[in-house]
Amino acid sequence: MEFNRLTDLREPAVRQVSVIVPALNEEKVIGQCLDSLHRLNFPPNDFEVILADNGSTDHTIDVARSFSDKLNLTILQKPGIHVSALRNLGASQAQGRFFAFLDSDCIVPPNWLSRAMASLSQKEVGVVGAHFRIPDDSGWVSRAWYGDLFREKQGDLAWVPASNTVVSRDTFQRLGGFDESIETNEDCEFCSRVRAVGLRVIGDPVIAVVHLESPQSLLGFYRKNCWHATDGLRVLIREFPNMANAKPVLFGLYTVICLAGAGTGAALAAWQKRFDVLAAFLVALLLPSFLLSLRSVIRRKRWGHLFPLILLHLVYGIARARSLLEYRTWKRNQFTAQCNIRSISSGSPPRDSA
């Protein structure tokens, strides 16, 4: 499928950084995202912004064009593809020596790029990123689950979110970009390949961005984690030696077993008045959620979050369990990432990123 270059307002020059922003129907937030990029304390001519649009039918493009006099802006459009492919599309048209991937519903701090460049200059660092901050008016779901996560996830990490990832062009092209065959978990899978070639993945809370659309309700939290878990098992199988994505997948598997056992126990309780099996599996279901929540509140010193976190861990486990039970149609290019790793290890050139 060909993409449309809707507008290109850059001057033909080599930039230090290309900020790549995938978007789909984000008219409510894209203006805040682009405005925060305009306010960066980074030389304006040293970075460009590439908006990779997935076929928006609202006013996303119109809002973005309103920043044409403030940013070195390019707008590309290619509908009907995964967000990983959108990021690769932006990278294929980028001029920068470094790629900064940013989601369209995120607001960056003023020192975002300058700090990221400094962190990326550390020895053997391949990727720099951060988990997100939440808006100040967030409800209890976001406050309990995400509120302190960006501070906790720092230093050497297994992965950082693709919504806030900075990597050099050389590293990105060497690894073949994001795997376009998977709908989610592309950031975990990409970071696994980064670490497989001996480079570090660093979390830096100073560059944490504000995620405007972080889940604010229990239902939204459940739906978000169902979607995030879509390709979790595939990534684990594909990257099994590195145990990429192992914890959430195993937590989901454990929840499946406990729910199945509880269902069996409920049947025994109804038919034979035996409650021991049901009680045992309910305790087994609750215990990890309780222990994980207790660890979090002790570390954060936020005891008021204990019961909300227990509930959220349960919902998280159920969302992950659902992803394991759903049938997924395998795409024809499902082995793309495996081929990349084999190509890298054998010295062969990786696939093209777009």
pLDDT in the model for residue 232: 76
Per residue in 135-173, pLDDT (tens digit) is: 999 999 999 999 888 888 899 999 999 999 999 999 999
pLDDT in the model for residue 178: 96
CA distances from residue 268 to 129, 156, 279, 286 in whole angstroms, order as listed: 50, 48, 11, 20
Instruction: Note whether 194 and 201 are within 8 A (CB).
Output: yes
Dihedral (C-alpha) 131, 334, 194, 233: value to the nearest 10 degrees? Answer: 50
| Closest listed residue to residue 19, CA positions, set 27, 10, 7 | 10
- The pair of three-digit structure tokens given for residue 72, joined into one six-digit string: 């070195």
Q: Across the 354 residues of the chain, what is the mean pLDDT of every consecutive 10-residue run?
A: 55 78 97 98 96 96 96 95 96 96 97 95 93 94 91 92 96 95 89 94 96 94 88 72 74 94 94 92 96 93 94 95 67 39 36 34
CA angle, residues 108, 112, 113, in degrees to nearest 5:
130
Residue that is written with structure tokens 């033909």 in the block: 12
CA–CA distance, 261 with 128 (Å, rounded to integer): 42
Query: Facing residues of 210 across strands?
Result: 107, 133
Question: Of 3.90.550.10, 3.40.50.300, 3.30.460.80, 3.90.650.10, which CATH number belongs to 1-105?
Answer: 3.90.550.10
Per residue in 73-125, pLDDT (tens digit) is: 999 999 999 999 999 999 999 999 999 999 999 999 999 999 999 999 888 99
| Closest listed residue to residue 164, CA positions, set 232, 212, 196 | 212
For the chain, what are the domain ranges? Answer: 1-105
CA distances from residue 67 to 75, 171, 194, 209, 233 in whole angstroms, order as listed: 11, 30, 34, 20, 40
Indicate whether this model's pTM tops 0.75: yes
CB neighbours of 132 closer than 8 A, spacing ≥ 6?
106, 146, 149, 150, 161, 163, 164, 208, 209, 210, 211, 214
- The pair of three-digit structure tokens given for residue 233, joined into one six-digit string: 């098992």
